Chain A
Amino acid sequence: MDLVLSKEAINSIIAILDEDLLRAGADCVLLVDRSGNLIVNRGDPANLDVVALAALSAANFGATAEIAKLIGEDDFALLFHKGKNENIHFTKVGRGFILITLFGKDVSLGVIRLKTVKVTEDLLPILGGEQ
């Protein structure tokens, strides 16, 4: 299944990510598909290789989905990695996409979790429902 997104669709995605996640304090937000393609990246990813991050995140998500199956789950809906200064939060968007949010230690995980739930709901219709 190939994905083609118009300029309008990309702009709508950008508006949602900016409005809900960057304004809530996230440093950088990426939307990628589960085969590793980078769809949109927002924020200021200084010195960040977003293309590699997209590929590794898709692989990471795929690998943890296999772990989920081993313990009798279909999938894990979100993943969270905590660093000293920077944290990274991954959320499943439909079946085919992953939302990656990078945020610093001054932003609470709860806020990011709440915002990503809303963002996921808003993104799905643009990405063609349950892809």
Chain B
Amino acid sequence: MSFIDLSKNEVQCKIVYYGPGRGGKTTNLLYIHQAMSEAVRGKMVTIDTKGDRTLFFDFLPLALGKIQNLSIKIQLYTVPGQVMYNATRKLVLKGVDGVVFVADSLKVQKEKNVESLENLKQNLADDGIDVKEIPLVMQYNKRDLSGSNIPILSVEEMERDLNRDLKVPWFPGSALKGDGVFETLREVSKRTVKHVSRKLLSR
């Protein structure tokens, strides 16, 4: 749910990074947090388990400047990717305005990507949101492993598996190195703000 405060001319939107466990959602947020100046980003909050898996969510607020006198504030969240944490994912998805689906390029994660995308569609549908209506951007993460001896999926194969019907914008990425991180963020923010303003104008 976006919130527009006309006393401050400010819009707040919620963008959720979704995808299978250990796919790089938190790494995306960490990279954004490290690369952005303190003037535009708030404090990053992480609730994780003893290891490096997200238990509840990560949260990072950003101020993305102004569009036509309206200040844009974006709140980035990640969900826990592990299958068993679906109740938590549903909580974090509440009131979502835009989604980044971070898919894992590792060949062994092929099924997990598809499963997680189906889970996203189902959880959105349970909240009355059609996956084709909400701003969605794909990121095919861990492309830096191409050329190494770890078997990875080709971008074409990932497109076939995940984006054949949705046909949403996608970016190859390496969240660890920062490749594609800001391209993804820019695209999803642009689409989300556009979507929110369109909804407002149609009121």
Seen from chain A, the residues whose Cβ lies within 8 Å of a Cβ on chain B are 1-7, 10-11, 33-39, 49, 51-52, 55-56, 58-59, 62-63, 66, 96
Q: Which residue of A lies closest to B56 (CB)?
A: A59
Q: Assess whether B200 is in contact with A37, with CB atoms less than 8 Å apart.
A: no
Q: Assess whether B6 is in contact with A5, with CB atoms less than 8 Å apart.
A: yes
Most chain B beta-carbon contacts within 10 A, residue among A7, A11, A55 = A55
Give the distance in Å from the alpha carbon of A34 to the alpha carbon of B91 in the complex: 9
Q: Assess whether A55 is in contact with B45, with CB atoms less than 8 Å apart.
A: yes
Q: Assess whether A4 is in contact with B6, with CB atoms less than 8 Å apart.
A: yes
Q: Which residue of A lies closest to B2 (CB)?
A: A2
Seen from chain B, the residues whose Cβ lies within 8 Å of a Cβ on chain A are 1-7, 12, 14, 42-43, 45, 47, 56-57, 59, 61, 75, 77, 87-88, 91-92, 94-96, 196, 199-200, 203
Contacts A37-B75, A63-B91; is A5 near B2 (CB within 8 Å)? no
Chain A residue contacts of B12, Cβ below 8 A? 37-38
Q: How far is the CB of B25 from chain A (nearest CB, A)?
A: 16
Q: How far is the CB of A24 from chain B (nearest CB, A)?
A: 24
Q: Assess whether B92 is in contact with A3, with CB atoms less than 8 Å apart.
A: no
Q: Assess whether B1 is in contact with A10, with CB atoms less than 8 Å apart.
A: no
Give the distance in Å from the alpha carbon of A55 to the alpha carbon of B57 in the complex: 10
- Interface of A, secondary structure class, is mixed
Q: Assess whether B14 is in contact with A35, with CB atoms less than 8 Å apart.
A: yes
Chain B residue contacts of A36, Cβ below 8 A? 14, 59, 75, 77, 95
Give the distance in Å from the alpha carbon of A7 to the alpha carbon of B6 in the complex: 5
Q: Assess whether A35 is in contact with B95, with CB atoms less than 8 Å apart.
A: yes
Selected from B1, B61, B88, B200, the residue in CB contact (under 8 A) with A35 is B1
Selected from A5, A11, A62, A96, the residue in CB contact (under 8 A) with B91 is A62
Contacts A36-B14, A52-B42, A66-B91; is A5 near B5 (CB within 8 Å)? yes
Q: Assess whether A56 is in contact with B95, with CB atoms less than 8 Å apart.
A: no
Q: Assess whether A59 is in contact with B91, with CB atoms less than 8 Å apart.
A: yes
